[in-house]
């Protein structure tokens, strides 16, 4: 069977333009055969919706893994997003170890919170388990909130100097992280972007674009999906980070100023910007 496929493991939020409903179309537009493994099923995402339903799929993971092994199904890379429970992290590592091809990469978006707060359903015990999980990854993609929780430090919304960036990256390296892409970095009130630590070179680079006012749900999932696809296609860590920033900004601009579309961004309108990657 074809071994050049990527498995993404995260929830299905049925409405809300995030998680698997973002990852699958983005990766497909990039020409990547994409398999999915839902960690949970929610009626909507948890940002702003009330009384959403949640079904944890933890107990389904071992059986799915065993079936894949029986069928000889293998994956060339793994990309994880929202994980429904701490117990799932051990199952996911089993899946990576038992179904990955030689040299398969594990890319982890440690989805836990944003804007200085943990998402509903997460606590400090989950943060500790996620730290251990991140130490097993080839690349991690935490936002500033997730960095703060993993380091046990106060959240800093803006004013992220290079000294601060270096401090955070050093802290993440101490917990075992290798290649690091910090998202949501703001060194002034006009720009937002990423700081990238390359474990091979030992260097930190940054990339910024204009900051679009407002709060846009699902943009972290958009960013991580584009990054994972570009990296899987052989782009460098730094180039993958830049491609993902540029696409995320384009996606946000499709919805800028539309207060009726508060729950996500219309990324579908700019998917064509990614199709060149499928032809390279």
Give one DSSP letter per residue of 135-148, joined into a string. Answer: TT-SEE--BHHHHH
Q: How confident is the model at residue 1 (pLDDT cuts 50, 70, 90)?
A: very low
Mean pLDDT of 233-261: 95
Angle formed at CA 154 by CA 132 and CA 164, multiple of 5 degrees: 85
Q: Report the pLDDT averaged over residues 148-177.
A: 96
φ, ψ at 83 (rounded to 5°): -110, 130
Task: Find out whether 216 and 252 touch, Cβ atoms under 8 Å.
Answer: yes
Output the CA–CA distances (angstroms, integers) from residue 10 to 80, 112, 159, 196, 261, in the order listed.
6, 12, 31, 23, 23
Q: In the 8-state DSSP scheme, what is residue 256? A: T
According to the model, what pLDDT value does residue 3 have?
54
Contact 33, 74 (CB under 8 A): no
In sequence order, what are the beta bridge partners of 114?
117
Token pair 């802290």 in the structure block, residue: 171
pLDDT computed for residue 84 by the predictor: 81
Q: CB of 19 within 8 A of CB of 27?
A: no
| Rounded mean pLDDT, 87-113 | 97
Q: How far apart are CA 143 and CA 265, in angstroms?
A: 18
What's residue 46's pLDDT?
A: 87
Q: What is the pTM of this model?
A: 0.96
DSSP state of 273: G
92 band by pLDDT with thresholds 50, 70 and 90:
very high
Q: Burial letters for 35-60: b for 16+ Cβ neighbours within 10 Å, e otherwise? A: bebbbbbbebbbbeeeebeeeebbee
The per-residue pLDDT for range 112-122, each reduced to its tens digit, is 999 999 998 89
CB distance 224 to 79 below 8 Å: yes
Contact 126, 84 (CB under 8 A): no
- The answer, yes or no, to whether residue 103 has pLDDT greater than 90, is yes
pLDDT digits (tens, 9 = 90+) for 34-51: 999 999 999 999 888 999
* Higher pLDDT pick, 244 / 280: 244
Mean pLDDT of 92-112: 97
Q: What's the pLDDT band for 252 if we cut at 50, 70, 90?
A: very high
Residue corresponding to tokens 């910007």: 273
pLDDT in tens, 163-212: 999 999 999 999 999 999 999 999 998 999 999 999 999 999 999 999 99
- Give mean pLDDT, residues 69-79: 97
Chain segment 203-242, per-residue pLDDT in tens: 999 999 999 988 899 999 999 999 999 999 999 999 999 9
* Phi, psi angles (nearest 5°) of residue 49: -85, 145
């Amino acid at each position: 069977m074809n071994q050049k496929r990527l498995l993404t493991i995260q929830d299905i939020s049925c409405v809300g333009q995030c998680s698997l409903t973002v990852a699958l179309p983005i990766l497909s537009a990039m020409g990547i055969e994409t398999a999915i493994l839902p960690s949970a099923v929610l009626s909507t995402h948890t940002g702003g919706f009330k009384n959403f339903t949640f079904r944890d799929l933890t107990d389904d993971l071992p059986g799915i893994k065993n079936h894949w092994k029986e069928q000889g199904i293998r994956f060339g890379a793994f990309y994880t997003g929202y994980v429904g429970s701490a117990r799932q992290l051990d199952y996911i590592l089993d899946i990576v170890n038992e179904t990955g091809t030689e040299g398969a990469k594990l890319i982890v978006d440690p989805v836990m919170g944003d804007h200085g707060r943990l998402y509903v359903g997460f606590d400090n015990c989950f943060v500790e388990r996620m730290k251990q999980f991140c130490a097993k990854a080839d690349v991690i993609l935490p936002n500033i909130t997730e960095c703060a929780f993993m380091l046990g430090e106060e959240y800093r919304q803006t004013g992220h100097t290079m000294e601060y960036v270096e401090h955070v990256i050093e802290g993440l390296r101490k917990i075992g992280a290798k290649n690091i892409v910090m998202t949501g970095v703001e060194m002034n009130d006009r720009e937002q972007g990423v700081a990238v630590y390359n474990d091979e070179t030992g260097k930190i680079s940054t990339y910024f674009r204009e900051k679009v006012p407002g709060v846009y749900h699902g943009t972290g999932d958009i960013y991580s999906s584009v990054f994972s696809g570009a990296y899987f296609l052989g782009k460098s860590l730094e180039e993958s980070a830049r491609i993902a920033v540029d696409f995320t900004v384009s996606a946000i601009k499709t919805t800028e100023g539309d207060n009726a579309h508060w729950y996500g961004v219309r990324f579908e309108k700019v998917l064509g910007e990614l199709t060149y990657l499928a032809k390279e």
